[in-house]
C-alpha cells in the first residue's frame, strides 16, 4: 500500500515544462552541465550583501533599481541581465532558461513564465557534493527508496529558530527594525501576510510599502536561513514615500509606526481615503480605533462631542510629576501605565477664552474637556511620551514606568461603568520598544513575545530574556493585542 508521502512525490510533474523536459532529457553530459549551471547560479545569488558601500547614489539617494528590480542569470552562459534583456539574449543565443535574482526561480523564455521543476527543487535543497550524483542515479519510481532518502536527508526547521531572526542595521535604521519586528511577531498580521493578504505579484503600485512589508514577512519566515536579514526593500520604499525619512539621520520609531500604518492602509484596494465614515480594509480594522473628545460648558452644561480616528495613545508620563509639584496627593513615586491612562481620560479644565459655547451665543466660556476611547483597535499602541520640546529646551525623561503584561481597557472607554463582559476588553502585551541614549544620539531595541517566551531584538543580535527583564525595561512604545478577537468590542 502506497504511503501519503510516496503518493505526493509521484504526483509531482517530472519536468517543469516541455522545454525543460527537452533540455534535461538529452544526453547525460548535457543534462549534468545544465544542473551544475543551475546550482552555480543558485549559490551565487544566495547571499545578501552585508555592505551597501558598493551602492551607487543619484541625487543623494540610492538607486533603487540595483536592489528592487530583479536580474536574470542565463543558465547556459551565466550572463546576468535585466528583465528586458531576456528576449534579445534568447534571440541572439537561443538560450531559453534564466534564474531570477530575488526568489531564485527558473524562468523559461519559450513559455514566457516561471516554471517549477521538482527535480531542480530537490537539487536546490541539497548542499552536498554528491547531490547531482544522487539525482542522476535515482528516479521516483522506487517509492520505498524515495521515502528512505527523504527521511534521512530532509531537514525540518527547528521550532527554536522560528521567529527569532534579527534585522541588519543599514545605517541608523534601528527605528525601522523595532517597528518591523513588532509587526513580524504579531499573530494577526502573520495570518494576513502569510495567507491571502497583500500579494506583491498582483499589485501595480510603484514603490508600494505594502509589497515591501509582505516581502519582509516572506523573508522572515523563510526556512532557508536562520540568521538575520536586511529589510532593504522596505527602507527604500519608505524613503521614496517620505522625503523626511530619506537618508541616514535619526528617526523617531513612533512617527515611523504612524507612517507605516498609514501606508499599509493606503496599500489595500478597498480602502477609503477619509476616516470619517470608517473604512472596511483589514488594516483600518486592525490598527485604527476612535477617540471621543467631550467639551462641557461650565455655564450651561452643553456638551460638544467629536470623534476622531485613533492609531495610538500618546500618554504624558510627566503629568504625575506635575501633579506632585502642584501639591497632589496619593501619586506613587514610580509612574504607572494605568496612572497615565487615568490622567489621559480625566476631565481637564480649559483656559478661559479657549471654548466658545454655541448655546451661550457663541461667547467664550469656561469649559471642561475629557477624552475617552469610543472604539478600541485589535492592536493597541501606547506611546509613553519621554521627549518634551519647548521653546527653550528639548529633553528626554529617563526612568522606569511600570506597565503590566495584561490590561483591561474598559475603564478608559466611553462606557466605563457599563455592565458588559469585561473580558472583551482585555489586552496582552506583545512587544515593548526601548529608546536608549539621548535625543540626538539614541538607539532602539525591542522585546517581542514569541509564543510563551520573550526575545530581545537589538538589530541582528537576538537574545532570550525573561518576563522580569521585559517588565523592568524603560519602555517608550508598548504594543498590546486584544486577547479575544471573536468578542472584540465595537
Q: Does position 23 have pLDDT exceeding 50, yes or no?
A: yes
Q: Percent of the chain scored above 90 by pLDDT?
A: 36
In this prediction, residue 63 carries a pLDDT of: 47
In this prediction, residue 443 carries a pLDDT of: 93
Q: What is the mean pLDDT of residues 291-303?
A: 90
Nearest-CA neighbor of 90 among 114, 117, 72?
72
What's the pLDDT band for 418 if we cut at 50, 70, 90?
Answer: confident
Q: Is 393:405 a contact under the CB 8 Å cutoff? A: no
DSSP bridge partners of 368: 296, 349
The helix (run of H) or strand (run of E) holding residue 179 is helix 174-184
In terms of domains, do 189 and 244 share one? yes
Q: What is the mean pLDDT of residues 190-214?
A: 85
Q: How many domains does the chain have?
A: 3
Q: Does position 179 have pLDDT exceeding 60, yes or no?
A: yes
**Cell numbers at residue 434, please?**
526601548
Q: Does position 327 have pLDDT exceeding 90, yes or no?
A: no
Q: Percent of the chain scored above 70 by pLDDT?
A: 76
The more confidently predicted of residues 152 and 85 is 85
Q: What is the mean pLDDT of residues 38-54?
A: 64
What's the pLDDT band for 7 if we cut at 50, 70, 90?
Answer: very low
CA distance 271 to 128: 49
Q: What is the mean pLDDT of residues 386-392?
A: 63
In terms of domains, do 181 and 98 share one? no
Tell me the backbone φ, ψ of residue 342, rounded to 5 degrees: -65, -45
Q: What is the mean pLDDT of residues 332-348?
A: 87
Q: What share of the chain is helix, strand, coil (3-state, %, to 5)?
A: 35, 25, 40
47 part of a folded domain: no
For helices 253-266 and 232-241, angle between their N-to-C axes, nearest 10 degrees = 80
Residue with C-alpha cell 472583551? 424
312 part of a folded domain: yes
* Top-ranked range on mean pLDDT: pick from 110-114, 206-210, 286-290: 286-290
CA distance 336 to 222: 39
Q: Write the DSSP string, 180-191.
A: HHHHHT-HHHHH
In this prediction, residue 16 carries a pLDDT of: 63
**Cell numbers at residue 356, please?**
466658545
The more confidently predicted of residues 42 and 376 is 376
pTM of the model: 0.65
In terms of domains, do 471 and 422 share one? yes
Lowest mean pLDDT among 10-19, 32-41, 265-274, 432-441: 10-19
In terms of domains, do 392 and 431 share one? yes
441 part of a folded domain: yes
Nearest-CA neighbor of 62 among 250, 263, 247?
247
Indicate which CATH number applies to the domain containing 317.
Answer: 3.90.70.10
Q: Write the DSSP string, 388-417.
A: EE-SS-EEE--S--B--SEEE-GGGBS-TT
**Cell numbers at residue 139, please?**
528516479
CA–CA distances in Å: residue 213 to residues 9, 176, 480: 33, 11, 20
Per-residue pLDDT of 419-472, as tens digits, reads 778 888 999 999 999 998 876 678 999 999 998 899 999 999 999 999 999 999
CA distance 381 to 402: 16
What's the pLDDT band for 223 if we cut at 50, 70, 90?
Answer: low
Lowest mean pLDDT among 88-102, 175-189, 356-370: 356-370
Q: Is 228:173 a contact under the CB 8 Å cutoff? A: no
In this prediction, residue 162 carries a pLDDT of: 58
CA distance 160 to 15: 35
Q: What is the mean pLDDT of residues 250-255?
A: 92
Q: Does position 41 have pLDDT exceeding 50, yes or no?
A: yes
In terms of domains, do 340 and 295 share one? yes
The more confidently predicted of residues 145 and 435 is 435
166 part of a folded domain: no
CA–CA distances in Å: residue 77 to residues 34, 46, 98, 109, 129: 10, 19, 10, 15, 22
In terms of domains, do 349 and 434 share one? yes
Lowest mean pLDDT among 40-44, 56-60, 191-195, 273-277: 56-60
Q: Is 179:215 a contact under the CB 8 Å cutoff? A: no
Task: Look over the chain and give the mean of its residue pLDDT values, rounded to a whole number.
Answer: 79
Question: What's the N-to-C CA distance of the chain in angstroms?
Answer: 54
In terms of domains, do 189 and 95 share one? no
What's the pLDDT band for 474 if we cut at 50, 70, 90?
Answer: very high
Q: What is the mean pLDDT of residues 5-34?
A: 66
Running DSSP on this structure, what letter comes out for residue 223?
S
Per-residue pLDDT of 67-105, as tens digits, reads 557 789 999 888 999 888 999 999 999 999 999 887 788
Indicate which CATH number applies to the domain containing 38.
Answer: 3.30.40.10
165 part of a folded domain: no
DSSP bridge partners of 309: 290
In terms of domains, do 309 and 456 share one? yes
The more confidently predicted of residues 97 and 6 is 97
275 part of a folded domain: no
In terms of domains, do 260 and 315 share one? no
Q: Is 101:95 a contact under the CB 8 Å cutoff? A: no
In terms of domains, do 179 and 97 share one? no
Nearest-CA neighbor of 360 among 304, 299, 293?
299
63 part of a folded domain: no
Domain that residue 197 falls in: 171-265
In this prediction, residue 148 carries a pLDDT of: 61
The more confidently predicted of residues 253 and 139 is 253
36: helix, strand or coil? helix
468 part of a folded domain: yes
In this prediction, residue 57 carries a pLDDT of: 44
The more confidently predicted of residues 54 and 296 is 296
In this prediction, residue 163 carries a pLDDT of: 60
* Top-ranked range on mean pLDDT: pick from 30-39, 157-166, 177-186: 177-186
In terms of domains, do 298 and 203 share one? no
Q: Write the DSSP string, 362-380.
A: TEEE-EEEEEEEEE--SEE
Q: How many CA atoms lie within 13 A of 357 on its CB side?
A: 20
Per-residue pLDDT of 395-414, as tens digits, reads 667 778 899 999 999 999 99
107: helix, strand or coil? strand
What's the pLDDT band for 135 if we cut at 50, 70, 90?
Answer: very low
In terms of domains, do 460 and 320 share one? yes
Nearest-CA neighbor of 181 among 191, 198, 166, 169?
166
Amino acid at each position: 500500500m502506497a504511503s501519503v508521502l510516496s503518493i505526493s512525490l509521484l504526483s509531482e510533474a517530472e519536468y517543469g515544462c516541455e522545454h525543460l523536459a527537452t533540455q534535461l532529457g538529452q544526453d547525460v553530459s548535457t543534462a549534468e552541465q545544465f544542473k551544475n549551471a543551475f546550482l552555480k547560479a543558485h549559490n551565487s545569488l544566495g547571499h545578501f550583501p552585508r555592505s551597501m558601500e558598493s551602492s551607487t547614489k543619484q541625487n543623494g539617494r540610492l538607486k533603487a533599481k540595483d536592489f528592487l528590480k530583479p536580474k536574470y542569470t542565463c543558465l547556459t552562459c551565466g550572463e546576468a541581465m535585466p528583465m528586458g534583456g531576456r528576449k534579445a539574449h534568447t534571440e541572439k543565443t537561443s538560450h531559453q532558461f534564466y534564474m531570477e535574482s530575488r526568489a531564485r526561480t527558473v524562468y523559461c523564455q519559450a513559455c514566457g513564465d516561471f516554471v517549477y521543476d521538482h527535480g531542480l527543487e530537490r537539487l536546490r535543497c541539497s548542499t552536498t557534493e554528491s547531490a547531482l550524483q544522487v539525482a542522476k542515479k535515482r528516479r521516483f519510481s522506487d517509492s520505498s527508496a524515495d521515502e528512505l532518502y527523504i527521511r534521512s536527508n530532509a531537514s525540518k526547521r527547528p521550532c527554536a529558530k522560528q521567529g527569532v531572526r534579527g534585522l541588519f542595521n543599514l545605517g541608523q535604521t534601528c527605528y525601522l527594525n523595532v517597528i518591523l519586528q513588532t509587526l513580524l511577531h504579531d499573530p494577526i498580521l502573520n495570518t494576513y501576510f502569510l495567507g491571502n493578504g497583500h500579494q506583491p505579484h498582483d499589485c501595480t503600485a510603484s514603490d508600494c510599502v505594502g509589497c515591501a512589508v509582505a516581502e519582509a514577512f516572506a523573508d522572515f519566515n523563510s526556512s532557508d536561513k536562520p540568521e538575520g536579514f536586511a529589510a532593504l526593500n522596505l527602507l527604500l520604499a519608505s524613503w521614496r514615500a517620505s522625503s523626511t525619512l530619506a537618508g541616514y539621520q535619526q528617526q523617531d520609531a513612533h512617527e515611523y509606526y504612524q507612517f507605516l500604518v498609514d501606508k499599509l492602509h493606503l496599500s489595500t484596494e478597498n480602502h477609503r481615503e477619509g476616516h470619517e465614515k470608517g473604512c472596511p480594509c483589514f488594516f483600518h480594522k486592525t490598527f485604527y480605533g476612535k477617540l471621543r473628545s467631550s467639551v462641557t460648558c461650565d455655564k450651561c452644561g452643553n456638551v460638544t462631542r467629536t470623534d476622531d480616528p485613533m492609531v495610538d495613545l500618546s500618554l504624558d508620563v510627566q503629568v504625575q510629576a506635575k501633579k506632585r509639584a502642584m501639591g497632589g496627593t496619593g501619586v506613587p513615586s514610580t509612574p504607572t501605565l494605568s496612572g497615565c491612562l487615568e490622567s489621559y481620560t480625566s476631565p481637564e479644565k480649559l483656559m478661559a477664552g479657549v471654548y466658545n459655547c454655541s448655546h451661550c451665543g457663541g461667547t467664550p466660556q469656561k469649559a471642561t474637556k475629557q477624552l475617552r476611547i469610543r472604539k478600541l483597535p485589535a492592536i493597541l499602541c501606547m506611546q509613553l511620551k519621554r521627549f518634551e520640546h519647548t521653546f527653550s529646551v528639548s529633553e528626554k525623561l529617563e526612568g522606569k514606568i511600570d506597565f503590566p503584561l495584561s490590561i483591561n481597557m474598559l475603564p478608559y472607554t466611553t462606557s466605563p461603568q457599563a455592565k458588559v463582559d469585561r473580558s472583551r476588553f482585555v489586552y496582552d502585551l506583545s512587544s515593548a520598544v526601548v529608546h536608549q541614549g539621548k535625543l540626538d544620539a539614541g538607539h532602539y531595541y525591542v522585546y517581542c513575545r514569541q509564543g510563551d517566551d520573550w526575545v530581545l531584538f537589538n538589530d541582528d543580535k537576538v537574545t532570550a530574556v525573561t518576563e522580569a527583564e521585559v517588565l523592568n525595561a524603560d519602555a517608550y512604545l508598548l504594543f498590546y493585542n486584544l486577547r479575544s478577537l471573536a468578542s472584540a468590542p465595537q
